[in-house]
Amino acid sequence: MKDSLYLRYAYNDLVRNKGVNISLFVMFIISAFLMSTGAMVMERSVGSVNALFEQAKPPHFLQMHKGKADAEALAEFAGEHPEIDSWLIEDMLGFDGAAVSWQRPSTGGAGDFSSSLIDNLFVAQNEDFDFLIDGAGTIPRPAAGEVYVPVGYQQGFGLQIGDELDIRTDTGNHQLVIRGFVRDSQMASSLSSATRFLVAEEDFEDLAVAGGGEAEIILEYRLADSASSAQFQKTYESVDALPKNGQAVTFQMIRLINVFSDGLVAVALVFVSGLLMLIALLNLRFVIRGALEDEVREIGVMKAIGLPHRSITGLYLGKYTVMALLGCIVGGALGVIATGLLTRSVQANYAQAPVGPVTFLVPAAALLLVFTIVVAMCHGVLRGVKKIEVVGALVHGSTLNETQTARRAKTLARRAKRSESSLTGPGSMNHRLALLDLRAEAGQWALIPVVFALVAILVILPTNLLTTFQSPRFITYMGAPESDLRIDLQFSYDMDAAHRGILADLEADERITAIRDFAEVLYQTPGEEGWERLRVTVGDYSGDTVAFLEGQGPRTGEIALSVMNANQYNLSIGDEMSIRGDTADGTKAVTVSGIYQDVTSGGYTGKMPGGGDSKDALGFVMYADTAKDLDPGTLAREYNQSHTSATVIPMREYMAQTLAYVTEAFHSAAILAYIFGLGVALLITVLFLKLRLTKDKSKMGVLSAIGFSSRELAGQVKLKILLTVVAGTLIGVVVAATAGDALVGAAISQAGLGISSLHFIPVPWLVYLIYPLSLISAGYLGAVALTSRLHAADKSSWLKGSQE
């Protein structure tokens, strides 16, 4: 009987106040939609990566190496360490993108991979682990003359089965037919610097004999306990005889890189949902308190006839419980559709995530969280029913008790005295009345500036994050100076001569305005289990080369450390550390001069002064600035043709391709945040004004009776909305501009990518002009739409207190 009464009351109220309830319902749907979608995207992304890892069995530790490896030392090392479950050496041949072209015989279409800046590595299928997996989740074994191409290239270049690849070698072209496409558990992310093509053993041997490809190996280890990969890395690097001429990567870093970009979409959605949930709760609190004030006499009657406050509370709680439940159901259903769209890329690049109990439990938990928060907020606000006194409700129509009523009367009296002088001041009477009303009821109008401040933060932060990662200055977060060109010179048979040749050509080229030359050198430093490898970039760090968080560039006898290295060795500015050459000769002490951020080499790097012509260099990297009227891409193509042993890359393209997945994630988040932000701003303004105009009808009836026109009454409302919207938007912009980067930077630093402090690089005209004007316009348009009804309203009914 009681449940029937609650449902009947909820239904009647939903029908009677359709506009208000629909607005709240939409807010619940959006909050539930974003929260559940974020949870499902994260679950599907992690599930896809885990599914690929289960199929491909990636290594728990790998060491890339250019050059010869001592097979006996590797076998001896493996025999001495029982924690190694299995190990292998994978041979690879790297070809420049311009040397690999494709043709489609059926249509005559053709192209090459020169626009891709990552290494193209041709490999044969492994036998024990680290398999390349096809679309069906099986381990393909190409026949002679066949090739399996990375899924990323299939998407980027529109490749199809049956297309032909031509690989330019020293002895002519080697032709292969595309048999399918493979997923790579190691190198699927754009953050990876290479990708692998799968060929038959015969074709790999033919390519090796033909020449033109750069030989490289990966030393791979599967451990009994994958969680010990970081500790195993230290053990590996403590042995001098083992190959270390390349990047070392742990299992945890492989997983982080693979999940990072798509995980950012999920995190962004949850962040947006959290802000929208806060906005929805603020509005819910406002609506419930307004309903209690409007129906206080009915509540007084129910109390007078003996209904307990719990039963009265149940009447209101039932309605919002039903709305929250339906909102979660609808939002969850929409989230299922959106998740399918948002995870298409991760499903293509990794694997089809299996459906299991967690698939349903994760979104259900997210929706339950939304539902619980909404109901808990309702409970909290409806506690006020218990404090309503029968006499105050029936006689005065007030939710306040006797003491609160007396205090309220004194406050109103003081305001009335202050208002006397304000009404006689200069300016329009209509505007002065609006300002006085806004001041007198500031607590009730505070909802609008708070909501618009939150919405401003909501739309600005994702965009600032996107433009920061897209900016050329973001290269400073990769431990490198801002420049137009990057020239990489890695292991080759005559690397020193190649380095001298390209450096001489750069210095003689009048189109080059500045050159910075650095050498990559391996040092060793004491760690927890003996001497550990330390990758150091040697060069001239005077001037604006690298942005330092603390301290300055290194001078003679000094070293600068990346954030992660400084944390690992517990060092700060002024501390000393011992280093020695990779050949274990000449230990010396150096002083830490500065700490910088770096996302390359796993975030573990160092910088020391010296010339770029170091005799112990593993490789060289040079940065060059070009004349303002010159396209760096054109110059890069010229140098790539004249210096085949070097890789010359326009820095903008290098950044765009390296961070492609990350920027795509932020781009999606920024668009979602902006669309939902504008929608919420308009929705909240309409909801607030609808309730406000209903409550203020008697007041506006009095003003109308003494001669104020409908236009003037509407003008008062629009002025109050405009002032509160502008104030809230400006507050949000200031908070986003001052504290936003610290908030987001703290979150990103937890990812362990080598960034501990992020400073936004915004597009000022967009986030500080267009966005605020958009929000203010949305709020003002909502006010115009609601106040337009005042012109046709029956103003005489307002004095009678009737409701529309």
Least confident of 66-80, 219-233, 300-314, 415-429: 415-429
Asked if residue 420 has pLDDT above 70, the reply is no
Q: What is the per-residue pLDDT across 301-354, written as a single tens digit (0 to 9) for each? A: 777 777 777 777 777 787 788 888 998 999 999 988 888 777 776 666 677 778
Please name the residues in contact with 411: beta carbons below 8 A apart, sequence gap of 6 or more.
none
Portion of the chain with pLDDT greater than 70, in percent: 82
Average pLDDT over residues 369-388: 81
Instruction: Note whether 477 and 599 are within 8 A (CB).
Output: yes
Scan for tokens 């507050």, then name that residue.
Answer: 731
**Residues 199, 402: Cα–Cα separation, whole Å:** 87
Confidence of residue 419 (pLDDT cuts 50, 70, 90): very low
- Which range among 412-416, 562-566, 774-778 shows the weakest confidence by mean pLDDT? 412-416
Low-confidence winner among 166-175, 186-195, 390-399, 605-614 (lowest mean pLDDT): 390-399
| pLDDT of res. 262 | 58
pLDDT at residue 684, rounded to an integer: 83
- Mean pLDDT over 279-301 rounds to 73
Please state the pTM of the whole predicted model: 0.73
What are the phi and psi torsion angles at 757 (to 5°)? Answer: -145, 120
Angle 740-749/710-738 helices, nearest 10 degrees? 50
More confident of the two residues 11 and 263 = 11
- Predicted confidence (pLDDT) at residue 803 exceeds the cutoff of 50: no
pLDDT digits (tens, 9 = 90+) for 22-43: 777 887 888 888 788 878 887 8
| Three-state DSSP class for residue 555 | coil
Q: Is residue 190 over pLDDT 50? A: yes
Residue 509: both structure tokens together: 């080229």
172 phi and psi, to 5 degrees? 125, -175
Lowest mean pLDDT among 189-193, 194-198, 519-523, 680-684: 189-193
Q: Where along the chain do its domains lie? A: 1-54+270-388, 55-257, 426-473+662-804, 493-644
- Calculate the dihedral angle through the C-alpha atoms of 459, 465, 469, 475, rounding to the nearest 10 degrees: 140
Cα separation, 220 vs 86, whole angstroms: 8
What is the pLDDT averaged over residues 481-493?
Answer: 78
Q: How far apart are CA 68 and CA 429, in angstroms?
A: 88
Average pLDDT, the chain: 80
**Percent of all residues in the chain with a pLDDT value above 90, rounded to a whole number:** 19
**pLDDT (mean) for 423-447:** 71
Interval 608-666: pLDDT, tens: 998 656 667 778 889 999 988 888 888 988 888 888 778 888 888 877 777 776 777 67
Q: Out of 167-181, 214-228, 251-265, 508-522, which region has the weakest mean confidence (pLDDT)?
A: 251-265
Per-residue confidence (pLDDT) for residue 414, from 0 to 100: 57
Q: What pLDDT, on a 0 to 100 scale, did the predictor assign at position 804?
A: 41
